[in-house]
Amino acid sequence: MDEQQVLIRILESGWAQCVDIVRADGGVLFTALVAGLVGSATHCVGMCGPFVISQVTSRMEQLPVEKMSEFRRLTGAALLPYQFGRLSTYCLLGVLAGYFTDSISALTRIWWLGPVLLLAAGLFFLLFGILGLMPHLGGLLPSTGESRWWNKLVGNHARGLFAAPYGWRGYLLGLMLGFIPCGLVYGALVMAAATGAALNGGVVMLVFGLGTVPMLFVTGFVGQYAAQRFRALMVPVGRGLMIINGLVLFALAASMFV
């Protein structure tokens, strides 16, 4: 068997694995993608926007004027090393969440653990949407945006990475910031755990993370002020989609109990 045939076999095996994951957890993958897309527009801009703006500003300041171009602005706003680092952290957390549930289910034979976790994730997104439409009730959900211990840790260890967020520095920065305490990430992790499989959990978190990339790119390209204005327009629609997301997860959980 030559190298080309080996490569074809590997690709076929990978494709078959992807098909199996979609068949098993297609509904969860869809809700994870929607959660990432909507959550990034209604929540991540305010929380992660400053990190993105800081990196883009640093990259542009170090670029000679004669090399400045629209393409450079686009690639600078994309922050690919940072995004890859963040996605790597999300995938790792998803793998661990899925493996944990798989291990618990195997040891205890608790078949209903997955559906219960889906119900928990659905409840979270439902409350996230409803409370977002009723700001006076916002205190009912814990806030994770002002974690002083994390801010201190990042300030002490990541200052040099922000100064030159290129290559491995940007990737390492993404790895670190992927662990930022965030309610949306917690909700996505519950969905990943509900799959009951390490690989499936990792894919769920990958899809969720990919959903957050477009809005963070927009934030880096047009600036946080413009992104915040877009966010204000998106909030009512986004919160409504989050409510639908929660209901979809309820339906998926109910189908697993039948």
* Rounded Cα gap, residues 45 and 23, in angstroms: 32
In sequence order, the 6+-apart residues with CB closer than 8 A to the CB of 167 are 81
Confidence check: pLDDT of 62 > 70: no
* Rounded Cα gap, residues 48 and 54, in angstroms: 10
In sequence order, the 6+-apart residues with CB closer than 8 A to the CB of 215 are 37, 40, 41, 44, 45, 227
- Could you tell me where the DSSP H helices lie in the chain? 3-39, 45-61, 70-78, 80-108, 113-133, 148-157, 159-163, 167-177, 183-194, 198-222, 224-257
* Rounded Cα gap, residues 243 and 211, in angstroms: 17
Q: What is the pTM of this model?
A: 0.80
In sequence order, the 6+-apart residues with CB closer than 8 A to the CB of 159 are none
- What pLDDT is stored for residue 108 in this prediction? 75
Confidence check: pLDDT of 139 > 90: no
Q: Which of 32-41, 65-74, 248-257 is predicted least confidently?
A: 65-74
Tell me which residue has tokens 């300041």: 61
- Cα angle value 46/173/151 (rounded, 5°): 55
Q: What is the mean pLDDT of residues 5-9?
A: 82
* Rounded Cα gap, residues 125 and 132, in angstroms: 10
- What pLDDT is stored for residue 190 in this prediction? 93
In sequence order, the 6+-apart residues with CB closer than 8 A to the CB of 43 are 183, 184
* Rounded Cα gap, residues 189 and 6, in angstroms: 35
Give 79-131 pLDDT, tens digit per residue: 888 899 999 999 999 999 999 999 888 777 777 788 888 898 888 888 888 87
Q: Which of 38-47, 185-194, 222-231 is predicted least confidently?
A: 222-231
Determine the residue type at 60: M
Give 208-218 pLDDT, tens digit per residue: 999 999 888 88
* Rounded Cα gap, residues 125 and 135, in angstroms: 15
